[in-house]
Structure 1
Amino acid sequence: MDVHGGARVRLFGLELPELLVPGHPSGEPAPSYAPRLTARVAQVAAAAGTHPRLLRGLAAGPEGEVLWVAEEAVPGVPLELLAAAGPLPPYRVAEIGADLAAALRSVHEDGLTHGNLTLRTVLVCEDGAAMLGGLLLGAAEEELCAALGGEVPRRVYETRALMLGPLAERWAIDAGAPADTWALGVLLYRLLTGHGPYPETDLPTLLAAVRDGHHHPADGCGPLRPLVERLLRPGAAARPDAAAVQRELRVLLASAPEPGLAGPAEPPLPVARPAAGPLVPRQRGRRAARAAAGAVADRQGPDRQGAQRPPRIPPRLLGPLLLGGVLLLLVAGLAGIVAVAG
């Protein structure tokens, strides 16, 4: 990162191929695409407003055969890095999607199309907020494709194919704001499932699937499935705009379960739990023996307790105790007679 006017910036380099002009005198500097691309980037930067979820594009300028595009930088992690670990939880994806929809809404209200919404252009900040960048770089790439292709659509397609590759987010059928919301649907699907909704092995296969609306099933999208399927519809009129997407995701987040409630009801114990019976604190000595015996008796029930409980008086003492009791009764009787006879 460099410092530009006191702000931390990220620099992106776009290679500029040499412009071949028939009949151009040899030995003289060849014309360059740099002025055209620089003018286009400056136009987009001037038209774009500010938004808390939109990384601000700063400037662009050529240096040799490279056009450098400067963009605001904030502390965070690229979304591409987070997605590499596997699918993200649905409600976390909803939070990211709501932030990106808000950024796209701002771009569209300024009369612009973003055209560069991918995992590489989203930054997740330290507080969890998602920031959308890549606006100026996307404008420079599209302008370069148009300059190289000229008035021949086939050449424009071939240039975009070489520059962008089979990345579904960059190949919407239509243009303008509906292309951005379609790309948002592709991105949400990718975050939820770990792969894109269309085959991306080669560009012709990808474009055929996009044109026909044949995407992979959205079973893994959870509560976001209805929204994702509407965003991936081939017809632009059938898709919600960025403002509607933002509202729908906010409603979904308002009903999200509290963190931790979706997990297991009981945390795993560090040791194996007994097959039956409560966990009791360990005790020592005779007290432990009495407590253990009482716990066993409680589990066996009242009937079995009476049947198996040991007698309180040992059998060998029953005879002496009985004889002693009779003698006490006799003594007590004689004492009573003497007292009455007086």
Structure 2
Amino acid sequence: MRTAPGQVVAGRYRVTDRPDDDVGVPAVDAQSGARVRLFGLELPELLDPVGGAAPGHAARLTARVAQVAAAAPTHPRLLRGLAAGPEGELLWVAEESVSAVPLERLVGNGPLSPYRVAEIGADLAGALRAVHEAGLTHGNVTTRTVLVCEDGAAMLGGLLLGAAEEELCAALGGEVPRRVYETRALMLGPLAERWAIDAGAPADTWALGVLLYRLLTGHGPYPEHDLPTLLAAVRDGRHHPADGCGPLRPLVERLLDPDAARRPDAVAVQRELRELLAFAPEPYPDGPPAPLLPTPRPAAGPLARRPRGARPPRRPPTDRQDAGPAGRPPRIPPRLLGPLVLLAVLALMAAAVAGVVLVAG
């Protein structure tokens, strides 16, 4: 899958930058001018039962991808799959391009907080709800197909690529289930999200439960060192303890239930996560805020009870207090003191003059 800037693949997409293994090959659609991401799927030769070469199957995969793309809904948390085109031994699948990073990179930094996982889960549940209402199954919910945008929103991609991979496994396996299993094992590896024991919408919600567990704990809920061990654990419902899932533990355990009838659907998952987020504590980067009305305690020494009848110590006057009793403000406003003193002097002078007149008379 070697490409270089300026190269045109599938007769339509011009590569604009070097490929990124996590988010595909950046390119531009020559027909619409839209920015896209390309993912290449190798197309090995098919063999018929007697060992001869079978006709190529690029047309079959292209038709299947086109069918899924036509039925896919439009949703703000679902990356839009565009088309697929063969070129040589590769099938190129084009998907809408956004400024985001794969969730896989965030998981590499350690477990995420439960409320951040709840935000991501609510976005993904909304996207899955739209997919299921359109009569489709996503089948490719992994940390690589989930992108996190600059505003923190999670978007689900990989719908067309997952459909192409499953169609290729069916084409290579034919009517032999063992060959289908071996093809999926080589193509997908022991990644728990891709090995649900049932099909349809319940498989997607189960994969969402696996993903939430992985984000909360930093590892998958099942052993993934080899595929037979993984499949046996999934079949028997033996997952690692969910102690590290915090407030999301009840939901995660229900999503991982081996009985599909007991799992919540995407609508219920989204509703439950939104209810949890409604009561989430506010995030404070520097720790919890200081109390609005602090009550300072003495610098040293215990608090002592005041003896009965003892008067509390007087506090020095402040700018808003007069030195009067109990620090109460004066009864006469300061602006009236001058006129009142003048009136008192005049009254005394008048009284003196009246006394002189009486004595002289």
The answer to whether TM tops 0.5 is: yes
Measure how far apart 1:31 and its partner are: 2.3
> How many pairs are equivalent?
274
Tell whether 2:260 aligns with 1:208. Answer: no
Tell whether 2:28 aligns with 1:3. Answer: yes
Show the counterpart of 1:197.
221
Show the counterpart of 2:70.
46
User: For 1:120, what is the secondary structure of its paired residue?
Assistant: coil
Tell whether 2:246 aligns with 1:219. Answer: no
User: For 1:59, what is the secondary structure of its paired residue?
Assistant: strand
Structure 2: 5+ residue stretches without partners: 1-25, 291-296, 307-361
| Distance 1:263-1:166 versus aligned 2 partners, 3 A rule | same
Q: How big is the alpha-carbon RMSD for the aligned residues of Structure 1 and Structure 2?
A: 2.5
Show the counterpart of 2:265.
241
| Distance 1:300-1:148 versus aligned 2 partners, 3 A rule | same
Tell whether 2:177 aligns with 1:160. Answer: no
Paired residue type of 2:132: H
Instruction: Please tell me whether Structure 1 or Structure 2 has the larger radius of gyration of its CA atoms.
Output: 1
Relative contact order (alpha carbons < 8 A, sep ≥ 6): 1 or 2 greater? 1
Tell me, in whole angstroms, the C-alpha distance in 2 between the residues paired with 1:126 and 1:215: 33
Tell whether 2:102 aligns with 1:78. Answer: yes
Which of 253, 262, 281 is residue 277 of structure 2 equivalent to? 253
Show the counterpart of 2:116.
92
Measure how far apart 1:19 and its partner are: 2.4
User: For 1:11, what is the secondary structure of its paired residue?
Assistant: strand
Paired residue type of 1:2: A
Tell whether 2:156 aligns with 1:132. Answer: yes
Tell me, in whole angstroms, the C-alpha distance in 2 between the residues paired with 1:92 and 1:135: 24
Q: Structure 2 matches for 1:1-80, cutoff 5 A?
A: 1-4=26-29, 5-21=32-48, 22=50, 31-80=55-104
Measure how far apart 1:23 and its partner are: 8.2
Show the counterpart of 2:199.
175
Paired residue type of 1:18: E
| Distance 1:24-1:171 versus aligned 2 partners, 3 A rule | closer
| Distance 1:297-1:10 versus aligned 2 partners, 3 A rule | closer
Structure 1: 5+ residue stretches without partners: 267-275, 279-295, 303-342
| Distance 1:248-1:299 versus aligned 2 partners, 3 A rule | closer
TM-score (normalizing by structure 2): 0.72
Tell me, in whole angstroms, the C-alpha distance in 2 between the residues paired with 1:208 and 1:18: 31
TM-score (normalizing by structure 1): 0.76
Tell whether 2:142 aligns with 1:118. Answer: yes
Alignment deviations for residues 164-196 of structure 1 (CA, whole Å, 9 cap, x no partner): 000000000000000000000000000000000
Tell me, in whole angstroms, the C-alpha distance in 2 between the residues paired with 1:11 and 1:52: 20
Tell me, in whole angstroms, the C-alpha distance in 2 between the residues paired with 1:86 and 1:135: 27
Show the counterpart of 1:313.
none
Tell me, in whole angstroms, the C-alpha distance in 2 between the residues paired with 1:300 and 1:115: 70
| Distance 1:262-1:113 versus aligned 2 partners, 3 A rule | farther
Tell me, in whole angstroms, the C-alpha distance in 1 between the residues paired with 2:51 and 2:40: 30
User: For 1:117, what is the secondary structure of its paired residue?
Assistant: coil
Alignment deviations for residues 109-133 of structure 1 (CA, whole Å, 9 cap, x no partner): 0000000000000000011100000
Paired residue type of 2:40: G
Paired residue type of 2:56: S
Show the counterpart of 2:346.
none
Show the counterpart of 1:141.
165
Tell me, in whole angstroms, the C-alpha distance in 1 between the residues paired with 2:90 and 2:99: 26
Paired residue type of 2:47: L
Measure how far apart 1:156 and its partner are: 0.4
User: For 1:10, what is the secondary structure of its paired residue?
Assistant: strand
Paired residue type of 1:15: E
Paired residue type of 1:76: A
Tell me, in whole angstroms, the C-alpha distance in 2 between the residues paired with 1:66 and 1:298: 79
Alignment deviations for residues 33-52 of structure 1 (CA, whole Å, 9 cap, x no partner): 10110010000000111000
User: For 1:62, what is the secondary structure of its paired residue?
Assistant: strand
| Distance 1:260-1:43 versus aligned 2 partners, 3 A rule | same
Paired residue type of 1:96: I
Alignment deviations for residues 47-88 of structure 1 (CA, whole Å, 9 cap, x no partner): 111000000000001000000000001001110001110000
Measure how far apart 1:218 and its partner are: 0.4
